Structure 1
Amino acid sequence: MNFIASVFNLIESDVSIFYGVPSTYRILLKYPDRFKRSFAKVRTAASAGGGMDKAIVKEMKELVPGLEILPMYGQTEATARLAYLPAEDVDEFVDTIGKAIPGVTLDVFDSDCNPAEINTTGELVAAGDNIMLGYLDDEIATEKKIINGWLHTGDLAQKLPNGYIRLLGRKDDLIKIGDHRVNPREIERNIEENTEVSKVFVVPVPHELMGTAISLLVIPSERNRNRKSVFVLP
């Protein structure tokens, strides 16, 4: 609790913008009374390093109604920031990374490096003055990462009709099952829409016929956990 108390004390020292990864907010929200008091004067709660979810946003807004929540997305190769989700759209589009920051162009390319259609999965690419020139003393890695001026992020994504972008996972996370390539992050996201579920992890397991199958590790929501005996909980 000493570390957590230090974070709350810092926030209460006239901080106007607080930056944290989603897990930071999950931890702080375990102390709702202190969270409400500490964030009372904070204007913006920014987040990066992972996706925020509806449950976190809902609880933060209930505790501090005037708090602006600003999810962001980026990569080290792009000097940290590529996209942000406008605060006014957080409730409806928190499962997206929003739109490109000023000076950056984002797109989704298919396997032939052509722009993908709306709602079609491809790789997220970025261009702009903030993109790195290349990896130091590693031309091979640079040529794989930057192609025709586009930074290939390695993230699977879809363009939405409103121009926002939804991430679906990493290219190298795909699980091959028979002739199909399955995106575990997409499965996890769909299951986590169930309010009885807090977190889901999809992992590959050996399968006698298919070679590989998937297994689910599910963490029930706090409410669900409180209703069940401890010996039946994962």
Structure 2
Amino acid sequence: MEKIWLNNYDPRVPADIDPDRYSSIVDIFEQSIEKYSANVSYINMGKSITFAELDTLSRDFAAYLQNSGLKKGDAVAIMMPNLIQYPVALFGILRAGMTVVNVNPLYTPRELQHQLTDSNAKAIIIVENFACTLSEVIKDTALDIVLLTSLGDMLNPLKKVVTNLVIKHVKKMIPAYNLPHAIKFLKALKQGHSQSYQRPEVTGEDLAFLQYTGGTTGLSKGAMLTHRNIVANLEQTSTILENIVETGKELVVTALPLYHIFALQGNCLTFVKFGCPNLLITNPRDMPGFVAEMAKYPFTVITGVNTLFNGLLNTPGFADLDFSRLKFALGGGAAVQRPVAERWQKTTGLVLLEGYGLTECCPTVTVNPPQLEAYKGSIGMPVPSTDIKLVDEEGNEVPLGEPGEMLVKGPQVMKGYLNRPDATAEMIVDGWLATGDIAICDEDGYFYIVDRKKDMILVSGFNVFPNEIEEVAAMHDDIVEAAAIGVPHEVSGEIVKLVVVRKHENLSEKDVIEHCRIHLTGYKIPKKVEFTDELPKSNVGKILRRELRDK
């Protein structure tokens, strides 16, 4: 379609970017650590490190990896919440020329095993709190190196000892595990400090991340994101933000987990490029603690999902924070609800901006301009160098203002799915990535989502695919078949509801939920179970989830 949105671009924003301006993320990182060496890069639990310290620590970790038998291109997993150890590991892996595999720390053994084996990960950096999960499946993976860290490891010496002792012996937050050959992360850094580091030649076509996303077959798929993909998306968003962001002077609140593509790109990488610190929130579910942490710092930017903003607005003390320095807040991952956006603007004095993206697009596709004066329910306009067309079921473009499936083309579109040429060919045709989302475009070039992927469930910004839930349900001996659907929820946007055909009437809702709890991460576990005699199906036997939703 004609790029009508360009007529409403800020005159300072170009229509196109150069995706090859930098050969890799490593180039961007090296420029930042040289330019902003004295600036703070990350803050967590009262501890801050400068860009110079991040340079040294990540270099040491890169050297350790290179001298441990790993080679360029090997996959290295990170399994931790928001801690300073995360960017140290992340940039160390990238500087070693290796590929980062982000892992949700809340994964069950089944989910973890699939991701580690599918990615063929050779090493993992994992927080001790979750080591028990790894110990259950490590024998079935290709892992050669396991690096363990504790939550307080990067804190000042006294606080480190106290924090780790309290977590282990007072709060008893570390379940027993058996990883006899694991190495302490701090020991690896110390070892790497005395080892040589060889900067590898990293090109735009090298894989930077294997970012896993839900799969329609019930198994997550690894989106292959190259350095060029990531650099392109950084350039696309930077050209918009650089007109409001002051390099070296912002402070971004990072509460979304860095293993999620939104925070990874929108917070971690973007603000390293701008030379600004990230305030890492390790446990944003502790809303009073989250608000208390924000009160300590002159924050200027915050990103989040609708549920996070809603949670903050309903936490005592949040409205009393100093918002005088806040420049913008960006919502993504799930639709921002109008009541939340309006209350946010009333409380903070700023519009809650909304964007749209996918893991497969690194993730940003569209975003509202920072100058937006009021919430308009739009996902914004395409970022530079991005084409969008809306098509009907036959693939024909629809007239302006009519709904159609959104197809995206641009340098941020992934290389494909690892080991899944079939899924890649289904998702990307002639360079156009099919989002599965139904949208409309107005005469000003603003896009609006009118329907999501037909069956996907969105829980607090995380994709939940029904087939995975149904596959787990089918593992229960007393379940004949099941269908998973999303139902609206005021806190998380949606929750999973499972409709079940059972063999025996003594199977209860509690039985089903407990069975799922063994095999699924918390946000995927059904919160409601309904029993029925039969599920609606098409003439070829396909379960009609839409009929269940409509009911």
The verdict on a shared fold, with TM-score over 0.5 as the criterion, is yes
Structure 1 letter corresponding to 2:293: L
Which residue of structure 2 aligns with residue 7 of structure 1? 290
Give the drift of 1:35.
2.9
Deviates more, 1:69-78 or 1:54-63: 54-63
Query: Which stretches in structure 2 are left out of the alignment for 5+ residues?
Result: 1-283, 457-484, 500-529, 538-546
Contact 1:8 1:38 in 2 (8 A): no
1:167 to 427, 449, 467: 449
* Structure 1 segment 77-92 matched on structure 2, within 5 A: 77-89=360-372, 91=374
Deviations along 1:180-204, one digit per CA (max 9) or x if unpaired, are xxxx99xx8xxx9xxxxxx899x99
Q: Identify if the C-alpha distance between structure 1 residues 63 and 36 changes in structure 2 by more than 3 Å, giving closer, same or farther.
A: farther
Which residue of structure 2 aligns with residue 19 of structure 1? 303
Which residue of structure 2 aligns with residue 150 of structure 1? 432
CA RMSD between the two structures: 3.2
In structure 1, distance between residues paired with 2:421 and 2:434? 15
In structure 2, distance between residues paired with 1:107 and 1:63? 37
Give the drift of 1:30.
0.7
Which residue of structure 2 aligns with residue 134 of structure 1? 416
In structure 1, distance between residues paired with 2:400 and 2:376? 16
Contact 2:390 2:404 in 1 (8 A): yes
- The answer to whether the aligner puts 1:72 opposite 2:355 as a matched pair is yes
In structure 2, distance between residues paired with 1:84 and 1:2? 26
- The answer to whether the aligner puts 1:54 opposite 2:311 as a matched pair is no
Q: Which has the higher strand share?
A: 1
In structure 2, distance between residues paired with 1:44 and 1:71? 11
Contact 1:131 1:151 in 2 (8 A): yes
Structure 1 letter corresponding to 2:409: A
Which residue of structure 2 aligns with residue 231 of structure 1? none
Look up the SS of the partner of 1:18 in the other structure.
strand
Contact 1:20 1:46 in 2 (8 A): yes
- The answer to whether the aligner puts 1:29 opposite 2:313 as a matched pair is yes
Which residue of structure 1 aligns with residue 266 of structure 2? none
Q: Identify if the C-alpha distance between structure 1 residues 32 and 160 changes in structure 2 by more than 3 Å, giving closer, same or farther.
A: farther
Contact 1:11 1:39 in 2 (8 A): no
Structure 2 letter corresponding to 1:128: G
Q: Identify if the C-alpha distance between structure 1 residues 90 and 122 changes in structure 2 by more than 3 Å, giving closer, same or farther.
A: farther
* Structure 1 segment 68-217 matched on structure 2, within 5 A: 68-89=351-372, 91=374, 93-94=376-377, 96-173=378-455, 212=547, 214-215=550-551
Structure 2 letter corresponding to 1:5: P
In structure 1, distance between residues paired with 2:337 and 2:370? 14
Deviations along 1:201-225, one digit per CA (max 9) or x if unpaired, are 9x9998xxx984723xxxxxxxxxx
In structure 1, distance between residues paired with 2:299 and 2:388? 32
Give the drift of 1:69.
2.4
Q: Identify if the C-alpha distance between structure 1 residues 62 and 32 changes in structure 2 by more than 3 Å, giving closer, same or farther.
A: farther
Give the count of matched residue pairs. 191
In structure 2, distance between residues paired with 1:92 and 1:72? 12
- The answer to whether the aligner puts 1:63 opposite 2:347 as a matched pair is yes
In structure 1, distance between residues paired with 2:387 and 2:294? 34
Which residue of structure 1 aligns with residue 257 of structure 2? none
Higher relative contact order (CA 8 A, sep 6+): 2
- Which one has the largest radius of gyration? 2
In structure 2, distance between residues paired with 1:51 and 1:90? 19
In structure 2, distance between residues paired with 1:157 and 1:87? 22
Structure 2 letter corresponding to 1:102: P
Contact 2:344 2:351 in 1 (8 A): no
Contact 1:69 1:90 in 2 (8 A): no
Give the drift of 1:112.
2.4
In structure 2, distance between residues paired with 1:41 and 1:142? 44
In structure 2, distance between residues paired with 1:48 and 1:130? 17
Query: Which stretches in structure 1 are left out of the alignment for 5+ residues?
Result: 175-183, 193-198, 216-234
In structure 2, distance between residues paired with 1:44 and 1:81? 17
Deviations along 1:153-194, one digit per CA (max 9) or x if unpaired, are 1111112222111112224239xxxxxxxxx99xx8xxx9xx
Q: Identify if the C-alpha distance between structure 1 residues 90 and 76 changes in structure 2 by more than 3 Å, giving closer, same or farther.
A: farther
In structure 1, distance between residues paired with 2:344 and 2:441? 28
Contact 1:36 1:64 in 2 (8 A): no
In structure 2, distance between residues paired with 1:98 and 1:144? 27
Contact 1:43 1:68 in 2 (8 A): no
